[in-house]
A and B are shown apart, each in its own frame.
Chain A
């Protein structure tokens, strides 16, 4: 079966005076139907810009998609017309963003915003759109739906607004939902509720999910596969279990080591990643993680390591030393 989403060598640049910044550089990954894939990285790693590029939501200027293909259900979205893209967004691809307050229109009722999404994409009359809106609010666990549909976003809590966003994303029976930091603005008990809801609904309707997050715990709980990004590139990719238990890129190793963990005894001291995140305007030909890497060798300065197969099938890493990393990490620990 071909993948539902097949991103090939996607690159996006931003120009804000001075040198252009390659926010997304040569990013390739696939998502199968019904699968949950996480894109994990820190600020500026290109995880959001990559997702926005897939939906062609990069503001131009200053941004520009400079290359690559995005095959969605066999069709290249990079070649689709603007009109076709409008039909895809909110239609076959649903979206959930971080800040539900800014992605909902404050002067329209919730009901209007859901029915609008339905009527934009499906030839539905008002009555059937309203019926569907009621059904959707029930699905996302909003009680008293009849009354709630007539309310405005400010009358909803943060968690409830994110439930509305999920209802809108699901409105047109999408094949894929792209969720960009969907729970970052929420408290931890509400985060858990929202993520459980997304997991349940995507399973029930066989919707694939791309979840973009900086939270390593969220990835571990919800994703089957994970792509780790650093400085605009995917540096490691594989099944979540493999990436977490046998990381093959020094950045992933360091990231997993630097967080305090509730599931392990308290450490005397944390083991941070030294140095600062990279300045994307000053990247050279070598590996972008090299200045902070404990295992860097001369070769890392001369060329950028490609995203290559490790000793494990389906597990990729962009490091010249990925195959020896297992023993190196063991020795350093």
Chain B
């Protein structure tokens, strides 16, 4: 489906770590530890591919996306984009890269400047990157972007507050497209939308992917949306990837106990199916990333944990071709 996926990865993330210091004290400030938001993450994304990054709050999926966008400076690791390590780039080089890498945020209310008209919001990136010096050509491009995203060109003269949530998110998408990027990080891009609008925006993202050959890193907590949109999916838990596989494979035969718990927890919209499901919820809550559990970070909640899981951290290994999991008990 969608654009062709060739073998050469567009993005290659290796050993990514993002640790935030925990500072205590008001007068005498001292570092008392680290929040290991991202703690050794590896993945690749092929050109034209959509990789899903799922997990619950605090698992590090958003921080991973922010590192790829270089909105954070990672503590360690490589972020090879088309062969260039983004983690090492300085300001000026980064700026050039940012034309190629764009982002769509979750909240269409807070990510658009309320004092700017939609036309100005869309023209802004072209001005910043000096891609279209002529104001009339810029205006034409704004109208084109609105049309591409399913909005009436007259919206250019409106303010964000005059639009609905779905329309605003279309503006957010149009802005991401303004510089003709090849790669877009979608961070919970459809999560804030009502069900009836969500499907419209998902279809738009798919259309744009095909039309412009885009590559997406799709970060979301809604598993059914991720399954629909992504070719491959990585599941994160407490700063690490615990499972990564093709979308159909991951949802049909999840291997990691955490992925299984996550899928079991999602209720499906069918009372008969729900009535027949044997439901087993994952016990407990996600532990603090300041002081994560020893060994496998999931072991305190895991229904199949054995002694070894408390001692040794399981490495991510390829259990089946293209299907990776970090669990001692998966064979």
Contact surface of B with A, Cβ cutoff 8 Å: 1, 56-57, 164-167, 194-200, 202-203, 206, 221, 223-225, 227-228, 247-248, 251, 261-274, 279, 281-282, 285-286
B243 to chain A, nearest CB (A): 15
Main secondary structure of the interface of B (DSSP, over half): helix
The docked-state distance in angstroms from the alpha carbon of A255 to that of B198 is 11
- CB-defined contacts of A255 to chain B, threshold 8 Å: 195-196
The docked-state distance in angstroms from the alpha carbon of A295 to that of B252 is 36
In the complex with contacts A196-B279, A268-B1, A272-B203, A189-B224 CB distance below 8 A:
no
CB contact list, A197-221 vs B, under 8 A: 214-221
Contact pick for A221, options B57, B194, B267, CB 8 Å: B267
- CB-defined contacts of B221 to chain A, threshold 8 Å: 187-188
Q: Residue A123 at the B interface, CB < 8 A?
A: no
Q: Residue A261 at the B interface, CB < 8 A?
A: yes
Contact pick for B268, options A222, A261, A276, CB 8 Å: A261
CB–CB A219/B228 < 8 A? no
CB–CB B271/A240 < 8 A? yes
CB–CB B269/A261 < 8 A? yes
Contact pick for A270, options B203, B266, B267, B274, CB 8 Å: B203
Contact surface of A with B, Cβ cutoff 8 Å: 42-43, 157, 159-160, 187-193, 196, 214-222, 240-241, 244-245, 254-256, 258-263, 266-274, 276-277, 292
- CB-defined contacts of A271 to chain B, threshold 8 Å: 199
CB–CB B273/A187 < 8 A? no
Most chain A CB inside 10 Å of its own CB: which residue of B261, B263, B267: B267
- CB-defined contacts of A272 to chain B, threshold 8 Å: 196-200, 202-203
The docked-state distance in angstroms from the alpha carbon of A258 to that of B196 is 6
Can you show 13 pairs from A to B with CB atoms below 8 A apart?
A42-B194, A157-B285, A188-B221, A217-B274, A220-B270, A244-B270, A259-B224, A260-B202, A260-B227, A266-B248, A267-B228, A271-B199, A277-B164
CB–CB B199/A188 < 8 A? no
The docked-state distance in angstroms from the alpha carbon of A242 to that of B247 is 32
Excluding A189-B56, A259-B199, A272-B199, 6 further A-B contacts by CB distance (< 8 Å) are A157-B285, A188-B56, A188-B265, A196-B281, A266-B227, A266-B248
CB–CB B199/A262 < 8 A? no
